[in-house]
Structure 1
Amino acid sequence: MPSQVMIEEAPPRRHHAKWSHFSPTKRDSPAARWSQNPPTNGVNEHLRSQITDPRGNNTFYTYDWAGQRRTVDDPDAGTSTTEYDVNGQISQTTSNGGKTVLTYGYDNLGRKTAVASGSDELAAWLWDGLGVPNGKGQITSTTSRDSAGNTYTTSTGSFDTRGRPLSSTVTLPAAVSGLAGTYTTSFAYDAADHLTKATYPAAGGLAAETVTTTYDTYGRPDRLTSTLGAAVYIDDTAYDSYDRLTGRTYGADFDGTGTNAQRAYSYDDSNGTRRLTSIATTTNVNELITERQKDTYRYDLSGRITELREEATGQTAQSQCFRYDDQSRLTSAFTHTLVCANSAQTTTNNQGTAPYQSAYTYDRMGNLQSVTDTNTAGTAALRDYLYPGYDDAGTWTTANANWPHGIRKILHKTGSTTTRTDTLTYDDNGTMLKRIEQPATGTATTIDYTWTKLAQLATVKTTKASGSELTRYAYDADGNLLVRTTPSEAIASLGGTELRTDGTTVTATRHYTSGGATVAMRTTEGTTATNGRLTYLMADTQASTQIAVDATTGTSTRRRYTPFGDERSGTLPTGTDNGFLGKTEDTSTGLSLLGARAYDPYLGRFLSPDPLSAPYRPQNLSAYSYSSNDPVNRSDPSGLMDADQGSSCTNHCEEHKQWVRETILGGSWQQEGDSGVDLNNDGYVTIYPAVHVPVGWDQAQIYTEAFYEKIDELCTYGRDSCADSSGPTDALAVNGAKGNACVAAGLNCPDGTRWGTSVAMAGGFMVAAEGGEGPAGGSGFGGLRTKSSPCAKCFLAGTDVLMADGTTKDIEDIEPGDKVQATDPETGESGAREVTRLIVTRDDKRFNELSIATENGIEQLTATHEHPFWSPSENDWIEADDLAPGMTLLADKGNTVIVTGSRPYRQQATTYNLTVDGLHTFYVLAGETPVLVHNSNCGGRWKLGEDYSKPSKNGASPSLSTMRKRFWKNEAAEPGAADQYGAANIGRMKRGSAPQRQRQDGSWESMELSHEPIPERDGGLLLTPRWPKDHVIMDPGGYRRLPPGY
């Protein structure tokens, strides 16, 4: 029977939901469910109070008067209690059966300053450090302490005027023998906030080095170069029109003699999926080109990878084949020399290089129940995972046992013979304490785990007949692994540099990144070469280290993994442990250290429950499971939330998730949505950053539930990861959720709802590019202009425009004097308006093809990416590139239509736009439905005529008097130009919501309203919006002065 999801809805004031899952396996049957508090007209009325998994294991929640979660009784993680101070900040948490009590400190501004356990301060954050340039409002240093009391400090030496850190210093204590000391890395940026330079300190035999990243005209990383031996790590990076990576050149391009490598990526654009279809890697040694990799990907109709085909010249052709059940869980993976479509999973598999054949089963709670590995001789080795609630025969017996999703026993079998039995135990937090591996004959191996008060892995002790070995871990204040001490060496991770010592010699490895991917490493380990040994690194679709190329000889190695991350073949380059997902593989323990949690790739399980588990996703009911049991298409490099590999999650994702953990989950915004209570008395309930619902709105609960449901679906890395909606991907998810919620509320979203905006914003205001001519637009909208594209908001030829008489006309055929239908969406004024100009642009390149749901079905409409459309759901002008599914557009009859999709693309084309007198708007047609657009910056300029600041005939700069005369002459040439804003926009500026732009020094300035006598207008006073420098020039009395250094 196919998998299905069933939602049951009760009366309006209470919402219940139930998932029912069906699959072909006997153990899989309905269902998981949750419930909420019954209606009592209290703040806790709609809060989730209980979740029950398909086996009857219950999780209970309670809340305080403000709707803040007070207690959680979790079957895996035990009971935890959270207390809050009067400001709603977490003041204390109690967990681990009451044995772990943490207290939290804040400064007077509500910023977290410390976490402590009793009198032991575990981590501290210092804000506004004295003597740190531009350090106000910044974390200037952090401190962490290990269980032995050793202190680790990370500090920032200075910030620039835009708050960007210019240096970071890590200080290691004397206890880290051989590595103790201070290490400083410095940074530089460009005006667009791109990191352009990173300077690493001399250490471990590597000299100091400055690595420079250059960017193309679209702000994408292009080249990566170094001062160390004038090295070129990346000489060229190529992208397609969708901004997808299509190729890299590793090492300098050359003619004749040299060594480099190239990698190329191809995608499927034939059916709209845009999926990755192939990766090819070649090396070039003195003009001898060798194919090192030629991988092809195939997918099923659900977008899951079903085959990875390797066909590089001179290598054995082979495929990895993947099969899934109806809940998208991986059920089998095997290799074969045939393509997967022609191969069944039989004992004749295990062909090719590093052959393997594995089969997986799961229970209805999302627990991995068995793994069967079949070798090339056809012998099957079974690992049978038993959980609390199941007896040793695998039969379910009871619910609500402790740790129901944690493995209690593993039976290793060959045929019917048990060859080894593993027994696992946990503490009250659900973290693994002990694993005893008892073979059928011989001495057991015991592995003991200890954990910090912050639930981080502290030590791993492995005891065998030959003796014991201990590995220790230390972290910084934000939970990042800082020092790892194994039985053979100590390793310190210092940003881009990793130091190692065996007690005698210190070596160093530097990793270099471009576009979020690690592309090269340089190490002094195992070599005496000057400046160490340079190796180019290429990752697979999951960011796991896959191919390494020696930068001198061009020889290459390939590493292969099982689906759950265990090594199949190949070794990592000497000097690095970065393997599966690009994360640390600790060979002393067999663990992969994935961000917040330790992961065992042999088991395919984490050692501790997910602190950010999403129980409303059925496969996440098991808090120890990895990537929803689909390790081929998803990954979890943070240990917090699995990611769809549609966009491979590399270092950029990790940085974003770290920001989310620190800023969003750290409490920088006050979440009021669960309670429905306006805690800060601002008239709105904050349900998400930049999403606020008016107090008293009768559809608020429906809207909130619908928003959360959709944001959970759309956010690739989980709901919390989209909380920084400034990024384009996150903004798309947030806007889609807002639109979905608005539809759920009957498209009855009130005007007062502060949905946030989708247009380019800075500090909450519209941004205009430096050097632009300022706003030009109609009511309520400030147009954006740039030097390079003075008229980049237009339409393609053939776009129909609604004329005043109700007919339509292709935009390129419209002439000055024609009349179109125009509307001011804020005042409701509508009528015929004259076209004063047709503007033609020959070189527009960026477009969005919008899909719009009309009465006649889904219709397409193409516009340049910046062209503004009026969106009633957003109550604002929204640029085409920012229109998201669920947003509405205004049609000519006053009704609305819904945006269902947006496809950005690039091509060079001629485009057309109109200047419309008065209202500065017109309607273009999506199929047969007119939608309102703005005439934007194409024409209708704020200042027309000659350049008032151009040099005089003698080449001298004009005087202020001359510039004023020229300005008034220009104003007279277009009498309505200074009035184009209209009353609504002037009112907005009076309230302080003025358009803003960024100056070259990085600071921001607001447009101002100036009162000026204008000779050509009967000497009357006119309220006119101007940029500060224009205000100064036009102020006849000279009363306006610019700030020093403007």
Structure 2
Amino acid sequence: MVADSFYGSTGAVKRANETYYAAGAASDELLTVTNGDVANQTRYEYDGLGRTTAEIFTIAGYEQWRNTTSYDGNMTHSDPPPGGVATTTVTDAEGKVKELWHYKGHTPVPTGPGSERTVTKYTHTAAGELATVTDSKGNTWRHDYDQRGRLVRKVDPDAGETILNYDESDRLTSTKDAQQRILSTEYDSLGRPKSTWEGAVNEGTKLTETRYDRSGSLGYSHASYRYLPNGEAYSTVVATFDTFYRPLTTNYTVPASEGKLAGTYPFTTAYNRDGTVASTGVPAAGGLPTESLKYTYDELQRPLTMASATSTYVTGTVWSNTSQLLQLSLSTGGPRTEKNFYYEKGTDRLTRATVKVGSTATVAKDQHYSYDQAGNVLSITDTAAPSSSSTLDVQCFAYDGQARLVDAWTPSATATTAEGEGTIGGTADYAGKKPTACDAAPGTNPLGGPSPYWTSWSVDDIGNRTQEIRHDPSLNAAKNTTRTFTYQDGDQDGTPGETGDGGPHQVTKVAETTPTGDRQQTYQYDVSGNTHKRTIDGDTQSLDWDATGKLTKATEADGTETSFLYDAGGARIKRTTADATTLYLPGMELELKKGSTAVTATRHYSYAGQTIAIRTSDNKVSFLASDHHGTGDLAVDAVSGAVTQRRTDPYGAARGKLSPETGTWPGEKGFVGGTIDASTGLVHIGAREYDPDLGKFISPDPIIDFTRPQQMNGYAYASNTPVTLSDPTGLYDCNNGVALNCDKKGNQQVNPCPSLVVPACNGGAVEKASNEVAAAEGQQARAQQRFKSAGKQLVKIVMDILGISAALDCFSSGDLAACGETMLTIAGSFAGGIAGKLLAKYGMPWNMHKGIQLAKQVTGLLKDLFGGLKAMSKASERLNKARANLAKAREKALFAVDTIKSAVGRGKPKCHSFLPDTEVLLADGKRKKIKDIRPGDKVTVTDPKTGHTVVREVSGTIVTEDDKHFVDLTINSKSLTATTTHPFWVVSENRWLQAGELTPGMTLRTASGTTATVEDVRYFGRRQRTHDLTITEIHTYYVLAGATPVLAHNCSTNLFSAEDQLNGFISKVEGADGYHDVWIHGSPDGVAPSFNAAEGGSTLMNHRVLAGLIKSDSNYTGGPIRLCSCQTGASRGTFAQDLANKLGVEVLAPNGYLYVRPNGRMSIGREGAALGRSHFGGEWVSFLPGGGR
């Protein structure tokens, strides 16, 4: 993977290539690519002062859109691409933001027509800390600091006042909320949180405890406890760590007072030598047996399969070259469920998701997504018909100037008008299309689809929904339902401990006008901003909250109660209703119904960032598919293949009935994976409770981003943009343009929008984690450069001009941490004393101008210094998070490899090979080291599909100098080492598997036709020379583990005629990592074994014949193909694309003549050039199944 940044003469970045795939191993040769070589590039333009004026997003070198920035004194105007929010930032004399304008139109117009806007105002303390934030309606957030710069008081217009206290080490020791409830934290001698209390430490009620430093795990926490009022505790204890301090067994203990649910539940984890998880174990409970889920991986540590001893779940996984999930194959032995994902080139946005079921691959779901250039979802179309309804489900979405959803509707559509996906408004070959059914304004044409609806929303300047119209599906306005929302006008000012009078974002009444009559709902809040009472249809529900802001009890009008308990980390652990008690364990729920002694269980199976299956207490398994936000919308019975579908509106309310209506939905997971609490009418989403009828959370968000005025509304779900953004953590919304899920433990994570494997959550074009690492590294480098540049100049002023001779060598030593400390000291000295020295030195009239100029220079440098330091901190945090996500092998990736230029392949790809001293079985039964094998030597070969064993000649040998990923196999107590990707014939699986996929217990074929068992597998990495062979006709041979010959095969499919001189050349060609080479002469219209036939065109094979030959070759084990065949990738033909469609794999083909030299070096002639006219300028072009380069 490669990412590039290119700098101009001023040191500013002129263009940046996002991470792209380059074939081969890393080398010390500079890789140069042109603008069109990469899918995603951002170009930057600057004015004469070095300020950014344009950020231009390009795909394959073609501009798609730009964000322009203009400057007017202390105003900075940002004009985004269509769909974005136009802004103006106003700064004070010190460069601090004092106003942020968000325009209601789509361009920044400070005055005159089109200047309507919302204004957020900021003030700062003398020390530069944020003091107040005031929204466009005058609501104010206040922050007070002590002399040490610590936040000691904050006032939220909804949540009221919070007081914060610290110890001498600046550790937060207690908080007091608006209800005067105190939460205290106790620390151990090393400053680690030890316990939390409601009230004072050792005086109030102990809530949680964390324990550290058990023998064998010094420095690590090993246990956490959540205490009950009776002194009992729920505990999570790591019983065993491995030598790397990773938990092996974690026990979740439920106290005896819980009766049949009480006990200890052990969960286990085992690791491979490379750090990947080998297996996870879940305990027997609720009628479900103990289960150990085992995982296999490819050489890039990407998961491939998941299975237990009793059942398979994931039988196959397909990743792109850049580690983006393309396909999941799910089966427990019955019908196969296949999930496929398609992404847009450059933006990486999800454009299509399909689910196919059964041997006939019935399409149960075929969703297509279209976007505006800012990333807002414009349509979601499902063209599949898994149930009784065969009508197309086309959902269209419209937004206001602040990107808030204002209309969602389902127009009647045909197959033609429903067609569309990708980002609209692009250029060249990269423009997407919105369904034409969505072109007309809602209500213009009839509604349609299996669950037709049209809902309109009005939202005020501060993000409060003021009106909702649920239009009649027949478009009879007299049958509409109109809901009007009322809010308290002013800050929360209730008496502590009493019910508050409502903050500015707290809805107090919803008046509903319907065709059958009018009704209203009312809401009351406590002074901390939590909903205290809800009166719906005349029935009042009371809600109780604890000091941590968690809902603990809901009491209905008839006195029925539902209570909740949370663990030490704040995650829900128990729910008790009038009918049952539910215990929540990792990936598992146990339920004990009232009056019963039988515990039932539900088990959830997660893989690659998604919940892929659920097993209920009757041992029934259902495979699950979700929308782009992780809301389950399809369940497939793993035995029968029966499909159940459910639909929701943008805010998660049910849309129509289940399909089929007789179906049942497994489990109780709902909107964005939250838990549906039927007894309360709420959905538990991450850290908070959500009301799908209101489309709001019922308590304030503890995390506020004051740079996003719409997010400052702590109750609004996903900034009122629920189709584009999601908030599965209950803490912070994020964009799931690609992500299928987000971490549900919102109350436990540092970054509320982590990058996940299939997804991640971020804004606009969703980046995979490795891309984020590259971007973060670039951000860090730029911040460091800014800091160092300002620091060096300040050092020069301090040392040379002011005569201070302190040794300031941190910049040359590279220790930026020390630099930061040193420069802060200098900055502080400047404010406190060096300024006086400046006046003294330049205070005379004839020097005054120079002194003033120097003061201005220092002021600017200090601004850059602090700005760089702040940016470094942010970049470091971003980089650490990105690297953590990457380490988990859950990065997202660019799907479209598209045009892989010959320059991109300038690395050193390697063939899959053996160590030099590995012995090969010769035809006469003797052995010979593979390094000593020569062309013409005869070896024993077997076609494993027919069992036919014969003698064949070695046609070539291959030597690779830089293989580095190896697996050591133990077979009959002897060792055999191979690269992880070298295939072996596995008799027990009846197929070829790569060495890295072998596991103990698998059996390999021997030369006598018997089997040898793989006893152990060990992975390691080091660079060393390896060897492989090219065999004529049957491309296999036997290598020996001690005295045991096992069947392996060589690299390529050679379809040249026997007399072709290239047979002597291709054995020296270096393979392309991840691709199987197919050698045959070609043209844009077909291929042939001989050059003359290919050029003459009279006896060309079509793509179907070639596909059959490739499939019948025992050397081919599946996967992407590099078609080494002249002009088969030329734009004037479709051969390579047709082959990709036929085989269902990526095909890499040259667009010009392919030249192979005697030393094995290849080059490609320019497309359209005559034979021999140009040996360079051509390229490898990637063709993907289903069309698209």
Matched-pair contact (CA < 8 Å) for 1:263–1:282: yes
Match of 1:860 in 2: none
Match of 1:462 in 2: 556
Partner of 2:606, secondary structure, is strand
2:346 matches 1:346? no
Q: Go from structure 1 to structure 2 and tell me whether the alpha carbon gap of 1:652 and 1:456 turns closer, same or farther (over 3 Å shift).
A: closer
Match of 2:531 in 1: 432
State the distance in 2 between where 1:624 and 1:209 align: 40
Match of 2:394 in 1: 319
Match of 1:948 in 2: none
Matched-pair contact (CA < 8 Å) for 2:810–2:816: no
Partner of 1:306, secondary structure, is strand
Match of 2:311 in 1: 231
Q: Go from structure 1 to structure 2 and tell me whether the alpha carbon gap of 1:38 and 1:87 turns closer, same or farther (over 3 Å shift).
A: closer
Matched-pair contact (CA < 8 Å) for 1:171–1:180: yes
State the distance in 2 between where 1:20 and 1:655 align: 29
State the distance in 2 between where 1:177 and 1:534 align: 28
Matched-pair contact (CA < 8 Å) for 1:59–1:74: yes
Match of 1:755 in 2: none
Pairing partner for 2:682 from 577, 580, 591 = 591
State the distance in 2 between where 1:120 and 1:570 align: 50
Match of 1:280 in 2: 354
State the distance in 2 between where 1:460 and 1:349 align: 42
Match of 2:601 in 1: 508
- 2:551 maps to a residue whose letter is L
Partner of 2:719, secondary structure, is helix
Matched-pair contact (CA < 8 Å) for 2:675–2:685: yes
Q: In the TM superposition, what whole-angstrom CA distance separates every residue of 1:339-375 from its partner, at most 9, and x where no partner exists? A: 3523431175442112211111111011122211123
Which runs of structure 2 are paired with 1:507-586 in the superposition (5 Å)?
A: 507-524=600-617, 527=618, 532-570=619-657, 576-586=667-677
State the distance in 1 between where 2:867 and 2:1074 align: 36
Matched-pair contact (CA < 8 Å) for 2:99–2:119: no
Match of 1:403 in 2: 503
Match of 2:739 in 1: 648
State the distance in 1 between where 2:702 and 2:315 align: 41
Q: In the TM superposition, what whole-angstrom CA distance separates every residue of 1:456-509 from its partner, at most 9, and x where no partner exists? A: 11011121xxx2321111110000110111222111111122101113131111
* TM-aligned CA deviation for residue 169 of structure 1: 1.2
2:198 matches 1:117? yes
Matched-pair contact (CA < 8 Å) for 1:515–1:652: no
Partner of 2:1022, secondary structure, is coil
Which runs of structure 2 are paired with 1:792-807 in the superposition (5 Å)?
A: none
Matched-pair contact (CA < 8 Å) for 1:51–1:58: yes
Match of 1:374 in 2: 471
State the distance in 2 between where 1:125 and 1:386 align: 43
- 1:484 maps to a residue whose letter is R
Match of 1:198 in 2: 280
State the distance in 2 between where 1:477 and 1:617 align: 31
Match of 1:102 in 2: 183
Matched-pair contact (CA < 8 Å) for 1:147–1:452: no
State the distance in 2 between where 1:374 and 1:158 align: 59
Q: Go from structure 1 to structure 2 and tell me whether the alpha carbon gap of 1:348 and 1:30 turns closer, same or farther (over 3 Å shift).
A: closer
2:170 matches 1:88? yes
Pairing partner for 2:1070 from 826, 842, 856 = 842
Match of 1:992 in 2: none
* TM-aligned CA deviation for residue 646 of structure 1: 2.3
State the distance in 2 between where 1:662 and 1:451 align: 26
Match of 2:730 in 1: 639
2:136 matches 1:36? no
Match of 2:410 in 1: 335
Pairing partner for 2:379 from 302, 307, 316 = 307
Pairing partner for 1:357 from 436, 454, 459 = 454
Pairing partner for 2:540 from 433, 442, 446 = 446
- 2:611 maps to a residue whose letter is T
Matched-pair contact (CA < 8 Å) for 2:686–2:744: no
State the distance in 1 between where 2:412 and 2:735 align: 28
Pairing partner for 1:787 from 1017, 1022, 1031 = 1022
Q: Go from structure 1 to structure 2 and tell me whether the alpha carbon gap of 1:841 and 1:652 turns closer, same or farther (over 3 Å shift).
A: farther
Q: In the TM superposition, what whole-angstrom CA distance separates every residue of 1:111-166 from its partner, at most 9, and x where no partner exists? A: 111110123444334333545xx321121111113567652111110111112111
Matched-pair contact (CA < 8 Å) for 1:172–1:179: yes
Which runs of structure 2 are paired with 1:810-889 in the superposition (5 Å)?
A: 842-843=1070-1071, 845=1073
Matched-pair contact (CA < 8 Å) for 1:265–1:280: yes
* TM-aligned CA deviation for residue 633 of structure 1: 1.1
Aligned CA-pair RMSD: 4.2
Question: % of aligned pairs identical?
Answer: 27
* TM-aligned CA deviation for residue 261 of structure 1: 1.0
Q: Go from structure 1 to structure 2 and tell me whether the alpha carbon gap of 1:566 and 1:661 turns closer, same or farther (over 3 Å shift).
A: closer
* TM-aligned CA deviation for residue 101 of structure 1: 0.8
Matched-pair contact (CA < 8 Å) for 2:552–2:564: yes
* TM-aligned CA deviation for residue 452 of structure 1: 1.2
* TM-aligned CA deviation for residue 37 of structure 1: 3.0
* TM-aligned CA deviation for residue 401 of structure 1: 8.0
Q: Which runs of 5+ in 2 are unaligned?
A: 1-78, 108-112, 419-434, 492-499, 755-783, 785-808, 828-857, 890-962, 968-1019, 1027-1067, 1076-1145, 1155-1189
- 2:679 maps to a residue whose letter is S
**Structure-1-length-normalised TM-score:** 0.61
State the distance in 2 between where 1:518 and 1:158 align: 27
State the distance in 2 between where 1:423 and 1:28 align: 36
Matched-pair contact (CA < 8 Å) for 2:674–2:728: yes
Q: Go from structure 1 to structure 2 and tell me whether the alpha carbon gap of 1:135 and 1:87 turns closer, same or farther (over 3 Å shift).
A: same
Q: Go from structure 1 to structure 2 and tell me whether the alpha carbon gap of 1:482 and 1:559 turns closer, same or farther (over 3 Å shift).
A: same
Partner of 2:672, secondary structure, is helix
Matched-pair contact (CA < 8 Å) for 2:489–2:503: no
Match of 2:708 in 1: 617
2:574 matches 1:483? yes
2:242 matches 1:160? yes
Match of 2:59 in 1: none
State the distance in 1 between where 2:645 and 2:135 align: 42
Partner of 1:578, secondary structure, is coil
Pairing partner for 1:495 from 563, 586, 593 = 586
Partner of 2:621, secondary structure, is strand
* TM-aligned CA deviation for residue 337 of structure 1: 2.7
Match of 1:726 in 2: 883
Matched-pair contact (CA < 8 Å) for 2:570–2:747: no
Matched-pair contact (CA < 8 Å) for 1:660–1:723: no
Q: In the TM superposition, what whole-angstrom CA distance separates every residue of 1:415-439 from its partner, at most 9, and x where no partner exists? A: 7x971122211112111111122x5
State the distance in 1 between where 2:181 and 2:679 align: 29
Q: Which runs of 5+ in 1 are unaligned?
A: 40-44, 392-399, 664-672, 674-681, 733-767, 773-784, 792-839, 848-904, 911-1046
- 2:884 maps to a residue whose letter is G
* TM-aligned CA deviation for residue 649 of structure 1: 5.5
**Structure-2-length-normalised TM-score:** 0.54
State the distance in 2 between where 1:47 and 1:273 align: 37
2:92 matches 1:10? yes
Pairing partner for 1:62 from 144, 154, 159 = 144
Q: In the TM superposition, what whole-angstrom CA distance separates every residue of 1:61-81 from its partner, at most 9, and x where no partner exists? A: 111222121110111110101
Q: Go from structure 1 to structure 2 and tell me whether the alpha carbon gap of 1:60 and 1:564 turns closer, same or farther (over 3 Å shift).
A: same
State the distance in 2 between where 1:565 and 1:238 align: 31
Matched-pair contact (CA < 8 Å) for 2:810–2:818: no
State the distance in 2 between where 1:652 and 1:324 align: 27
Partner of 1:80, secondary structure, is strand
Match of 2:921 in 1: none
Q: In the TM superposition, what whole-angstrom CA distance separates every residue of 1:780-827 from its partner, at most 9, and x where no partner exists? A: xxxxx9536889xxxxxxxxxxxxxxxxxxxxxxxxxxxxxxxxxxxx
Partner of 2:737, secondary structure, is coil
Q: Go from structure 1 to structure 2 and tell me whether the alpha carbon gap of 1:728 and 1:158 turns closer, same or farther (over 3 Å shift).
A: closer
